[in-house]
């Protein structure tokens, strides 16, 4: 089961980026629908930090993979 999931996950930067933004959009839509504005803005801030950290991690991983 795990190998089936890992084969279907996009491996390119743009494939993973699109998947990540879809998941974040769904999470933020649910939070906006069911929480107050204060908690929603806090979640948006966390998501911005997550996106910046994710790109930094991706770039560091690519730099380590190069000889």
pLDDT 10s digits, 3-59: 655 666 666 777 777 878 888 888 888 888 888 888 888 888 888 888 888 888 877
The whole-number pLDDT of residue 15 equals 74
CA 7 to CA 46: how far, in whole Å? 29
The whole-number pLDDT of residue 6 equals 60
Q: What domain range is 54 assigned to?
A: 2-65
Please say if the pLDDT value at position 1 is more than 60. no
Q: How many domains does the chain have?
A: 1
CA 58 to CA 60: how far, in whole Å? 6
Task: Provide the greatest CA pair distance for the chain.
Answer: 49
pTM: 0.62
């Amino acid at each position: 089961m795990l190998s089936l999931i890992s084969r279907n996950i996009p491996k390119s930067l743009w494939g993973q980026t699109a998947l990540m933004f879809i998941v974040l959009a769904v999470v933020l839509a649910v939070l906006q629908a069911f929480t107050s504005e204060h908690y929603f803005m806090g979640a948006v801030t966390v998501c911005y930090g997550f996106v910046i950290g994710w790109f930094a991690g991706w770039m560091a991983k690519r730099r380590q993979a190069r000889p």
